[in-house]
């Protein structure tokens, strides 16, 4: 698979185990971005000449491809700049629907900063209460804890499909079904940033009001993302960004917005990146999730066993050892050795791992862990990569472990 | 460049002036929130002159080696002399060019020293 990813031509010794931060880009994605510039080049949804219409049509094709990928409707696919942009946009749009000091927001504690801070800020602006719900000790979602907090005042429920620290695929459906029955008007937003490259997502079956992700985590370009937003909430929410392409009538009072995704897509879209995203989705679809899942689970089991054999009781894994319910991601601590030292020493050997809080400081504080080391896999990761990583880690441990 | 050179590892594994003072005149505790490093530093001053130092901490090799190296330099120096020390001075002691990502680890010891010297202000 590595030959499909040009970065490995430039850095032949690269052992890249940080795909959860961003996945490397395959040649077909880079070519698709170039194709926009070389063969399209025009803006979308504006010009009336054929080349502009061709670009508009290509964007709608990409929208259709995203909808199919998510098992949803094309009209619900809003292009954004990424997960963070999508969540911030929704938090701003929801603000207009909320009254001061009336309401609560519930957030799961395994969220990364972009699924917590926008809600924390919204709660501050509107003087709302914000609850952060811890996970169970095995890293699984505590449905009961969420349900216990629900009340008629709950306005927003912000969930994470896969945490970037645990890598556990959470079964959100039972919780969402219960919430729907108890609080039909609540806004449910699912952060799928870490899930989207690893498991099939069915937005219709999931039944959230919004689902967000970034292109770059699924082998696509940076600077593009998707906010899948149901018709009901597209109609209910006011846009939070204003500009070209989203207004219907500038003379009406109040202003009349376009309907559909355009209402939330002010300004020129990241067109080259949308082309790249579509190519990434086509690649993942052609390989198939059953095949990528199998590959990741094999790597996860292999890495876990090798690490246990090398470090025994000195290594602690976050979120347990069950590879069945995880994406290809493993966070751990090694007794007596600081994650930053591990990452620096491995970095000197061209082995890329993540060390720190992984933009999930709330979770780390709750676990009383200052930092962890994380490895995460992509479709290009091999068992040989794991071998090099484990021997590099053994060497680092010898250098750093204090008796 | 390799960060983990012999002199860094030597100070990391065998830190100098490790522990607490029985009668400190100045003290500090500083933390690097983003990576969980924490240093506590005790100083004993006679007038304006540092006569003794001890410190303890948890953290990465760079932050601990930096504290150990700095602790060797402070005895019999005046408060003003020590308050004038800069991050560049610490990088000189470490003999390392630290990337922006690791700079905070390297200079946490200086923050501990300056916070302690200001603790009676």
pLDDT per residue as tens digits for the range B38-66: 999 999 999 999 999 999 998 899 999 99
Name the closest residue on chain A to residue B64, using Cα atoms.
A338
Please answer yes or no on whether A357 and B2 come within 8 Å at the CB atom. no
Burial of B100 (0-12, 13-18, 19+ CB in 10 A): exposed
Share of chain A above pLDDT 70, in %: 99
Q: Which of B2, B35, B61 sits opposite A370 (nearest CB)?
A: B35
Residue tagged 């696509």 (tokens): A220
E-strand stretches of A126-243: 129-133, 154-160, 187-191, 210-214, 225-229
Please answer yes or no on whether B34 and A345 come within 8 Å at the CB atom. no
Least Cα separation, residue B109 to chain A (angstroms): 17
Calculate the dihedral angle through the C-alpha atoms of A338, A344, A347, A353, rounding to the nearest 10 degrees. 40
In degrees and rounded to multiples of 5, residue A343 shows phi and psi of -65, -40
Q: What is the pLDDT of residue A403?
A: 62
d(CA A345, CA A365): 25
Least Cα separation, residue A300 to chain B (angstroms): 26
Share of chain B above pLDDT 90, in %: 74
d(CA B120, CA A127): 39
A125 sits in the region (left: phi over 0; alpha: psi -120 to 50; else beta) called alpha
d(CA A260, CA A220): 24
pLDDT at B35 over 80: no
Per DSSP, the three-state class of A186 is coil
Please answer yes or no on whether A371 and B4 come within 8 Å at the CB atom. no
In the predicted model, what is the mean pLDDT of chain A?
Answer: 94
pLDDT at B1 over 70: no
d(CA B12, CA B94): 12
Alpha helices in A153-238 (DSSP H): 173-182, 203-206, 231-236
Size (chain A), residues: 403
Please answer yes or no on whether B61 and A400 come within 8 Å at the CB atom. yes
d(CA A394, CA A248): 62
d(CA B113, CA B41): 7
In degrees and rounded to multiples of 5, residue B9 shows phi and psi of -65, -35
- H-run or E-run covering A54: helix A50-69
d(CA A92, CA A240): 6
d(CA B53, CA B74): 8
In angstroms, how far apart are the furthest CA atoms of chain A? 75
Share of chain A above pLDDT 90, in %: 82
Question: CB A325: neighbour CB atoms within 10 A?
Answer: 18
Q: What is the pLDDT of residue B100?
A: 80
d(CA A189, CA A71): 17
> Across the beta sheet with A315-317, what order do the strands follow?
A315-317, A329-334, A372-376, A354-356
Name the closest residue on chain B to residue A348, using Cα atoms.
B2
pLDDT at A322 over 90: no
Calculate the dihedral angle through the C-alpha atoms of A230, A233, A239, A240, rounding to the nearest 10 degrees. -100
Q: What is the pLDDT of residue A110?
A: 86
Q: What is the pLDDT of residue A294?
A: 96
Residue tagged 């490895």 (tokens): A375
Least Cα separation, residue B2 to chain A (angstroms): 7
Reply yes or no on whether A227 is catalytic: no
Lowest mean pLDDT: which of A23-27, A147-151, B30-34, B52-56? B30-34
A238-284, pLDDT tens digit by residue?
999 999 889 888 888 888 999 999 999 999 999 999 999 999 999 99
Residue B33 binned pLDDT confidence (cut-offs 50, 70, 90): confident
Name the closest residue on chain B to residue A370, using Cα atoms.
B36
Burial of A196 (0-12, 13-18, 19+ CB in 10 A): buried
Please answer yes or no on whether B4 and A340 come within 8 Å at the CB atom. no
B92-114, pLDDT tens digit by residue?
999 888 888 788 889 999 999 99
Residue A172 binned pLDDT confidence (cut-offs 50, 70, 90): very high
Q: What is the pLDDT of residue B44?
A: 97
For an interface test with B, the pick among A18, A334, A344 (most B C-beta atoms closer than 10 Å) comes out as A344
Average pLDDT over residues B21-44: 91
* Chain B residues within 8 A of A400 when measuring between CB atoms: 4, 12, 61
Q: What is the CA radius of gyration of chain A?
A: 22
pTM of the model: 0.92
Q: A334 to each of A36, A385, A389, B34, how far by Cα in Å?
A: 46, 20, 14, 18
d(CA B12, CA B62): 8
In the predicted model, what is the mean pLDDT of chain B?
Answer: 92
Q: What is the pLDDT of residue B11?
A: 95
Token pair belonging to A304 = 């876990």
Buried b (16+ CB within 10 A) or exposed e, A35-70: bbeeebebbbbeeeeeebeebbebbeebbebbbebb
Calculate the dihedral angle through the C-alpha atoms of A367, A326, A337, B63, rounding to the nearest 10 degrees. -70
Catalytic residue selected from A183, A227, A352, A359: A359
d(CA A129, CA A125): 11
Average pLDDT over residues A87-99: 95
A153 sits in the region (left: phi over 0; alpha: psi -120 to 50; else beta) called alpha
Q: Which residue has the higher pLDDT, B21 or A356?
A: B21
Average pLDDT over residues B10-38: 92
Using the Cβ of B4 and the Cβ atoms of chain A, whether some distance falls under 8 Å is answered with yes
Per DSSP, the three-state class of A265 is coil
Q: What is the pLDDT of residue A137?
A: 85
Q: What is the pLDDT of residue A9?
A: 97
pLDDT at A41 over 90: yes
pLDDT at A207 over 80: yes
- ipTM score for this prediction: 0.85
Per DSSP, the three-state class of A106 is strand
pLDDT at A363 over 80: no
Residue B69 binned pLDDT confidence (cut-offs 50, 70, 90): very high
Q: What is the pLDDT of residue A367?
A: 73
């Amino acid at each position: 698979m590595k030959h499909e990813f040009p970065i490995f031509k430039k850095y032949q010794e690269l052992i890249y185990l940080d795909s959860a931060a961003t996945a490397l880009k395959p040649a077909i994605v880079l070519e698709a971005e170039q194709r926009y510039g070389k063969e399209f080049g025009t803006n979308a949804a504006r010009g009336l000449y054929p080349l502009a219409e061709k670009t508009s049509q290509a964007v709608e094709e990409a929208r259709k491809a995203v909808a199919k990928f998510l098992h949803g409707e094309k009209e619900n696919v809003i292009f954004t700049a990424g997960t963070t942009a999508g969540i911030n946009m929704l938090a701003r749009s929801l603000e207009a629907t909320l009254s001061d000091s009336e309401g609560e927001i519930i957030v799961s504690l395994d969220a990364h900063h972009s699924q917590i801070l926008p809600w924390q800020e919204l709660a501050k602006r509107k003087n709302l209460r914000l609850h952060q719900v811890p996970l169970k000790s095995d890293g699984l979602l505590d449905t009961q804890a969420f349900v216990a907090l629900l009340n008629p005042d709950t306005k927003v429920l912000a969930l994470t499909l896969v945490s970037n620290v645990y890598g556990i695929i959470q079964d959100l459906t039972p919780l969402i079904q219960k919430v729907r029955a108890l609080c039909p008007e609540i806004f449910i937003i699912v952060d799928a940033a870490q899930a989207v490259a690893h498991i099939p997502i069915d937005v219709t079956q999931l039944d959230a009001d919004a689902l967000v992700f970034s292109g770059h985590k699924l082998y696509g370009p940076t600077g593009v993302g998707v906010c899948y937003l149901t018709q009901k909430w597209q109609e209910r929410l006011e846009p939070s960004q204003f500009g070209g392409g989203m207004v219907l009538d500038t003379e009406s009072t109040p202003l009349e917005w376009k309907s559909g995704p355009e209402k939330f897509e002010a300004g020129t879209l990241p067109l080259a990146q949308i082309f790249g995203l579509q190519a990434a989705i086509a690649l993942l679809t052609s390989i198939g999730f059953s095949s990528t899942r199998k590959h990741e689970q094999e790597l996860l089991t292999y890495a876990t066993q090798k690490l246990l054999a090398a470090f025994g009781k000195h290594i602690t894994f976050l979120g347990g050892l069950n590879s069945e319910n995880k994406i290809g991601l493993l966070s751990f601590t090694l007794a007596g050795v600081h994650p930053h030292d591990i990452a620096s020493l491995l970095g000197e050997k061209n082995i890329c791992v993540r060390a720190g809080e992984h933009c999930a400081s709330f979770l780390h504080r709750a676990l009383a862990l200052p930092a962890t080391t994380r490895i995460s896999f992509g479709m290009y990761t091999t068992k040989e990569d794991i071998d090099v990583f484990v021997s590099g880690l053994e060497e680092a441990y010898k250098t750093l472990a204090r008796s | 460049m390799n960060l983990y050179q012999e002199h860094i590892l030597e100070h990391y594994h065998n830190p100098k002036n490790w522990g607490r003072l029985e009668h400190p005149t100045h003290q500090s505790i500083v933390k690097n929130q983003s990576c969980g490093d924490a240093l506590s530093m005790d100083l004993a001053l006679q007038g304006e002159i540092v006569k003794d130092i001890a410190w303890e901490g948890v953290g990465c090799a760079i932050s601990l080696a930096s504290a150990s190296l700095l602790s060797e330099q402070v005895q019999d120096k005046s408060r003003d002399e020590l308050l004038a020390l800069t991050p560049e001075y610490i990088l000189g002691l470490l003999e390392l060019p630290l990337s922006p990502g690791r700079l905070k680890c390297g200079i946490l010891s200086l923050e501990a020293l300056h916070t302690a010297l200001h603790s009676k202000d």
